[in-house]
Each structure stands twice: as structure tokens, then as C-alpha cells.
Amino acid sequence: MFDMSALELSAAIRTGKLGAVEVAEAFLDRIERENPKLNAFVLPTREKALADARRVQARIDRGEEMHPLAGVPVGVKENVSTKGIATTCSSKLLDGYLPEFDAAVVEKMEAAGLVVAGKINMDEFAMGSSNETSFFGPSRNPWDVSRVPGGSSGGSAAAVAGALVPLALGSDTGGSIRQPCAFCGLTGIKPTYGAVSRHGLFPCAPSLDQMGPMARDIDDCAALLEVMSGPDPRDATCVIEKPFDLASSICASRGVTMEGTRIGLPINYFEGAFGGVMEDGVKKAVLEAAREFAAAGATIEEFEMPLVEYVFAVYYAISCAEISSSLARFGGGRDIESKRAVRGDGLGFEAKKRLMFGALMLSEGAGDYDNAVHARALIKAAYEKLFGRFDMILSPVTPGVAYGIGDGVNDPVTMRAGSMYVASVNLAGLPAVALPCGFGERGLPVGFQLIGKAFSEPALVSAARVFQSRTDFHTKRPPAA
């Protein structure tokens, strides 16, 4: 069953070929056996998962019509609230915290019959690009356990790539779903800002954060995004009027070509943009993905992505300012000395660095923050203009394959590279789909992304399905998985 997709697994459960409890026990046993090598799960929830699986099986036995993902185990990132289950954002600061409510996405998943298998490791408060800032220690990439799985949703990527669960929730503030998917050979969706309720998501940078699905293929991702999406009166930023209907777009895309679809290719991304250097294997794989779309009938047009030299500075200024505001609620008392003691002991270096920089941006550097907000508006306007020319944009996710654990922690350039091609999507509030497209140095996975205009997830899913029907990169597994 570990080789089955989530949709295949649920179909087997609903038709009686497998039992929901049998499936839950098998994956929980695998987590217990394999997780010590990957450090993906920080808290498996065996008793609750088995109880939930029994309830799902009872509903099936009564003949209830169930969701196509019913009975499938799913991992939940540590910054997503789960009632009565420790939720620490992988930080010592929240050690022992038990939420009194479930996040909206957890409510929706459980209503659909998915089984939460446990909480998954992440960079502390979602601050990082490698999963090395976690209080619980780094997660490890199943393709090479000496390498990072990416961040901040690296634990989610490691869990799915390592076949500990078929599905996982991630959150994406500046590429934190897409970069781990690229490093671990997975598929993931960063939804449009406002498509998924953030109620119950611990905020990193609230105007950038968005939760999304991570899985092996686009069908599984689309099915989970259908469950997650939809309006929620508890989140004023959740502006979608109804959940996505992605099942129909998947069916419609089977055997369909890309005739008439205009795809933009930002050629300056491949020519040392941002002062970085793209690995040859990454460049070759991503350009080959563009040729695959051309072979399917799409029109590929090269263009120069504007404002690229400002993206990281704008992203870092805005995200750190919002981080400073978000973490203000975690103090340890009203007086400055108690706050200093609690934060000094409870937060790691990366969180402290971003918090302090954000506080500076909102005080003495307020003028710089205003400039960043203005530049963000220009970036968003540039995307709007581009989508007058193109239906979607195809770009790399990362300039290189997964790097070694420890290589990026003390190297700001390496860490910055994790946001090179992805952060502008968050600044503009746009959707993007990350897909595996080959292998680079040392046989490690390479990914690319398709970026669309706001709420164009159905079109992106259809395009992703066409690509995965023509290639087999999403079927490849780490040697040990």
C-alpha cells in the first residue's frame, strides 16, 4: 500500500479491498520504524488516528457516500492548530502548548474522512529554508539523508517522499511548499492567497502565508486542495466563494493537449539572475520541461522577468516586519526583563534575527518598510501585466539541488537562494504548482513551478496533469522509500 497514491488507497478502502484501520496501522508502524532516520514526524498520534480510522470504517460499513480521500493518513505541519495535540511550531517557546481548537483545514479534512497521523517537523515558526532551525533538530531528505529536505515545510516533504504518509499539509510564506517539493521530488500547490482559510495557522508573515497540499502527484494534491479550500467567516482574508472543483479539471485534462496555451519562460532566471549561479542539471531539467509543454501544443515565449533584483529585499523586509508583529504575542509577561528571559531562552538564532530585524524595520527603518510595501505593489502590477500576455509562467523553483545539512545555516547566500524564484509569488498572492521534472547533481531531484493568475488553480492543475501524463518523474522514489 506504500506505493499506492492517496486516491488509489482511498478507493481500496471504500471498496473493501483494504480496511481503514488496517491502513492506519500500517502507516503508523512505518512511521515508528522509519522516522528515526528522517526526523519528519515530531509527534505521531496513534491512538487518535486509529480511533478516527474506526469511525471512517463504520461510516463506510453503513453505506455512507465518502470523499475520494476518506481513510487516507495525512501529516499536519507543526504550525497548524490541532485540538488537544501539542502544537509548538517546532520552537522551545511553545513547548507543552495544547490548542483548544482545530484549524479550519483540520476540521475540513476530518469531516472528509482523512486520518491525521501526527504532527510534522518544520523550521522554527516557519523561519528557514532547510528545516535546520527546528527545536527538534533537522529533518532529512529521503533521497540522501545527509542533505536537507528544504524548508520550512521540509518535514512534510520528507514524510511524503519517505512514504511515511501519502499526503501532508505544508505552509508557504516565501516558497516553503515549493522548495521542499523540488528538493524531494514531490508535487505541491501553493494556493492563491485567500483560497484557503488561515484560521488556526500560526502566523509567520500573515499577508504572505498560505497552506497547501504536498503529495506525489497532482491528482492527490488537487483532491486535498478541494477539501482545504472554501470560505470561512473566521478568516476575513479568505475571500473565495466556494471550494475549488478540481476533480472535473483533472478529468478534463486526461489526454488533452496544451493547444492554445501561452506559457512565459523568464529567461533571465537562467542567466545568473539575483547574482546566483544555476546548476547545469537544474537548468537542463527545467528547460526540458518547457520543451515537453511545447510538444504538447503549448506556445512557449521567452521574456525578461522585471524587478527581480528587488524581490528578496522586499520579501525579507515585509516578512520580518510581520514576523516581529506576529511574535509580539509570545512574551512571558509585561515587563521587558521577563520578555527578554522567555524569548532569549525559548527562541532560536534565526527567529531572533528575523524578529529583531523586523522590529528595526517598524521603528527606525519605517521608511524602508514603506518603500518595500510600494515595491511589492509594483511586483504585483508586473505580474498582472504579464498575465495579459501569458496564461501561465514556467520557472525554476531553486537554482540547485538539495544541499548538505549544515552547508546553509552559516551561509546567507545559500539560504537566500532558497527564495530566489519563489518569493515573488507570495508577494503577489498568486497560485503556483511545483512539479518534479528530472534529476541533477548526484542524482537528486529537480523541480519547476507553474505560476498562474489569482484563482487559476483549475488551469494550473490541468496543465500539471498533462505534464505528468507525459512524464514519469513523479513516479520515482528514493532508493530507501
Considering the domain boundaries, does residue 354 fall inside one? no
Q: Where are the alpha helices (DSSP H) in 114-196?
A: 154-161, 178-184
User: Mind telling me the catalytic residues?
Assistant: 77, 152, 176
What pLDDT is stored for residue 307 in this prediction?
Answer: 94
The contacts of residue 306 (CB under 8 Å, 6+ apart) are 382
Say yes or no to pLDDT of 340 above 80. no
CATH number at residue 141: 3.90.1300.10
Considering the domain boundaries, does residue 132 fall inside one? yes
Q: How confident is the model at residue 274 (pLDDT cuts 50, 70, 90)?
A: low
Q: How confident is the model at residue 247 (pLDDT cuts 50, 70, 90)?
A: confident
Say yes or no to pLDDT of 36 above 90. yes
Entry field: residues in the chain: 481
Spatial separation of the C-alpha atoms in residues 84 and 197, rounded to whole Å:
20
Contact 120, 90 (CB under 8 A): no
What pLDDT is stored for residue 272 in this prediction?
Answer: 61
Considering the domain boundaries, does residue 322 fall inside one? no
What pLDDT is stored for residue 361 in this prediction?
Answer: 86
Give the predicted TM-score (pTM) of the model.
Answer: 0.95
Say yes or no to pLDDT of 364 above 90. no
Considering the domain boundaries, does residue 222 fall inside one? yes
Say yes or no to pLDDT of 77 above 70. yes
**Number of domains making up the chain:** 1
Considering the domain boundaries, does residue 197 fall inside one? yes
Spatial separation of the C-alpha atoms in residues 198 and 176, rounded to whole Å:
15
What pLDDT is stored for residue 402 in this prediction?
Answer: 96
Cell of 71: 481513510
Considering the domain boundaries, does residue 242 fall inside one? yes
Spatial separation of the C-alpha atoms in residues 140 and 117, rounded to whole Å:
19
Helix and strand element counts for the chain (H, E) = 16, 11
Say yes or no to pLDDT of 82 above 80. yes
What pLDDT is stored for residue 329 in this prediction?
Answer: 77
Choice among 78-82, 169-173, 349-353, 363-367 with the minimum mean pLDDT: 363-367
What pLDDT is stored for residue 124 in this prediction?
Answer: 96
Choice among 139-148, 268-277, 303-312 with the minimum mean pLDDT: 268-277
Q: How far is CA 282 from the centre of its chain?
A: 20
Q: How confident is the model at residue 330 (pLDDT cuts 50, 70, 90)?
A: confident
Selected residue with higher pLDDT from 446 and 341:
446
Radius of gyration, CA atoms only, the chain? 21
Say yes or no to pLDDT of 339 above 70. no
What pLDDT is stored for residue 479 in this prediction?
Answer: 86
Of all residues in the chain, the percent with pLDDT exceeding 70 is 91
Mean pLDDT of 400-425: 81
Of 40, 22, 133, the closest CA to residue 481 belongs to 40
- Full residue range of the structural domain in which residue 206 is found: 6-253
Instruction: Read off the pLDDT of residues 168-222 as tens digits, 9 standing for 90 and up.
Output: 999 999 999 999 999 999 999 999 999 999 999 999 999 999 999 999 999 999 9
